[in-house]
Structure 1
């Protein structure tokens, strides 16, 4: 029987008391990263059956937790091969400047993803970003060619049956006067109803428009930085519109 273990460093998860700035929660795949990392890995290393699982998820027959768990178990790759592919993943070119600004202004930023903790940590570190709190599914390796997932942030009551219940993470941010969210796609739909304001990319723009969710359409994280700069004297940036 294979012995699987985490290959992720000990992730930094801060605790808070009363805070006077907003907190920014960010999706990773397609939001911070240019491409979906999990899809990229599955395209390179996934064995037969991954596409069928994806179809079941798209059609609502299984949740993302079940889909990803079974897909990751179908990956065949060494750690070196995985890292080689991860080394090719690019991120939003303005994300580092966004992190520098939030650090300077004491605005916490958390990565809240239904993706893979190790992949997120690896990609961010490669781009010079470390010690950013990451809440994601835990990638396990057997030190050979097999992979598994654990779900430390799953919630049995999650409407979307996600591996990482983003709405549950939002509920834990009671120390902040405002919760801002940055996302791009399907895994961000549910949580967008439960935050104070959404910065939306791609499919999430249309979802927010359709559901009358207060949001701002963005292309880069520089748009979020600019909004935060304009909001120094108010909790909600004045540039935000429905």
Structure 2
């Protein structure tokens, strides 16, 4: 029997006292990264059965936790091969400047993703970004060619049956006067109903419009940084729509 272990470094969970600034929660795949990292890895290393699982998820017959768990178990790759593909993943060119701005202004940023912790950590580190709290599914490796997932942030009551219940993470941010969220797609729909303001890209823009969710349409993290600068603690950007 294979022994699987985590390959990500220790991903800390910061503790905050009462805070006067907002907190920004960011999706990763398609929001920070240009491509969806999990889809990219599966396209390179996924074996027969991955596409069928994806169809079941898209049709709503299984949740993302079940889908991803079974898909990752179908990957065939060494760690070196995985890292080679991850080395080709690009991120939003404005994300590093956004992180620098939030650090200077003591605005916490958490990455809250239904993706893979090791992949997120690897990609960010390659772009010179370290020490951001990452809340994601735990990627396990057997030191040969097999992979598994664990779900430390799953919630049995999650409506979307996600591996990482983003709504549950929001509930833990009671120390902040405002919770801001940056996202782009399906995994961000549910959580968008539970934050104070959404910075939305791509499919998430239309979802927010259809559901009367307070949001700012953005093209990159440069727009988020500019909104934070203009609004300061009030966070009422001119571009806000409802």
If the length of structure 1 is used for normalisation, what is the TM-score?
0.99
- 3-state SS of 1:118 partner: helix
The answer to whether the aligner puts 1:107 opposite 2:107 as a matched pair is yes
- 3-state SS of 2:139 partner: strand
CA distance in 1, matches of 2:20, 2:81: 44
CA distance in 1, matches of 2:236, 2:169: 21
2:22–2:233 CA contact under 8 A, matched in 1: no
CA distance in 1, matches of 2:25, 2:66: 24
CA distance in 1, matches of 2:238, 2:21: 16
- 3-state SS of 1:180 partner: strand
Tell me the equivalent position of 2:86: 86
CA distance in 1, matches of 2:236, 2:180: 9
CA distance in 2, matches of 1:207, 1:171: 22
CA distance in 1, matches of 2:238, 2:73: 46
Cα offset, 1:236, TM superposition: 3.0
| Structure 2 runs not aligned, ≥5 long | none
Dislocated runs of 4+, deviation >2 Å: 235-239
CA distance in 2, matches of 1:7, 1:17: 31
If the length of structure 2 is used for normalisation, what is the TM-score?
0.99
| Structure 1 runs not aligned, ≥5 long | none
Tell me the equivalent position of 1:126: 126
Cα offset, 1:233, TM superposition: 5.1
Tell me the equivalent position of 1:96: 96
Residue-by-residue CA offset, 1:128-182 (whole Å, 9 max, x unaligned): 0000000000000000000000000000000000000000000000000000000
Equivalent pairs, count: 242
Tell me the equivalent position of 1:139: 139
CA distance in 1, matches of 2:216, 2:184: 12
Tell me the equivalent position of 2:41: 41
